[in-house]
A = this chain, B = another copy of it.
Amino acid sequence: MEHQRDRDDLDTVLGKALAVLRAFGPADSVLPLAELVRRTGLAKGTAHRVAGDLVHHRLLDRTEHGYRLSGGLFELGLRAAAERTLVELAMPFLQDLYERTHETVHLGVRQGGEVLYLTKIGGHRQARTPSRTGGRMPVHCTAIGKVLLAHADEEELTAVLSGPLERRTPRTVVAPGLLRRQLAKAVEAGVAYEYEESTQGLLCVAAPVLEPDGRTAVAAISVTGPVGRFRPEPHANTVRSAAAALGAVMAGRSRG
């Protein structure tokens, strides 16, 4: 079905354009035309024209070495209302967290089986995390992911648990039963932890930002630090109350 959609989408102009834009992964900065052709499966001539059109519409920049997602796209993305207000409202709380811990602070949402990081703030001495603003990570091996999954409906939960759980490090939890127990505990405690499950040397606490109903989670906040100088448990309370406060603000906002 995914195949199906990919193929169908390439039959429309818009589909082709998006295929080109989405050919850029979180790590790619500039891609030559040939690479775009390879990744999208478009005909060379077509890719050339589409890319040209995208440049004309300021979604791509032309550089010496190929194409690059442009500032116009960045700006457009920043107009997305839901995500932006979330980030804006969260900022003061994230600042507080950073100031107290001086460790890396994340704000993320769940998209299916992955976490999308909306913001990441940190100082000069921040831990070397693989996460990036706009990047993704699997839900099952990150604190944010676990706490969001814990508040998802049963259906989505089992979908993730029954899928394969990729082993990222020796400590990644890949046993569905164990993970399920951890999630139950996370709901109870109001926080989830990660102990080097996505990346060696990284520890993390996360708390959910809940809707007024107290069940569904719209986002999650986390603090991440390196093994050695950082222990997540002492920050559980801080993170939890920051997330709760943000939830309250958002509830007030959507009502008023």
Contact = CB atoms under 8 A, between A and B. Distances in A.
A22 B124 contact: no
Contacts of A68: 80-82
Nearest to A94: B121
A250 to B, nearest CB: 14
A214 interface: no
Interface string A54-89: 100101010000001111011111111111110110
A130 to B, nearest CB: 13
Contacts of A80: 68-71, 73-74, 77
A96 B121 CA distance: 11
B30 A91 contact: no
Contact of A71 (B12, B91, B111): B111
Interface residues of A, number: 58
B134 A24 contact: no
Contacts of A96: 123-124
A4 B91 CA distance: 41
A90 to B, nearest CB: 11
Interface stretch (A13-21, A149-157, A181-189): A13-21
Contacts of A12: 13, 53
A134 B79 contact: yes
Nearest to A87: B133
A213 interface: no
A98 interface: yes
Interface in A1-46: 9, 12-15, 17-18, 21-22, 24-26, 28-30
Given A71-B109, A123-B92, A78 B79 contact: no
B77 A74 contact: yes
A21 B29 CA distance: 24
A132 B84 CA distance: 9
A216 to B, nearest CB: 16
A242 to B, nearest CB: 11
Given A122-B91, A123-B95, A116 B77 contact: no
A247 to B, nearest CB: 15
- 6 closest pairs, A vs B, by CB? A77-B77, A78-B134, A29-B81, A74-B80, A13-B13, A69-B80
Given A17-B17, A95-B122, 9 more contacts: A14-B17, A26-B79, A28-B79, A29-B85, A68-B80, A69-B79, A71-B83, A77-B78, A78-B133
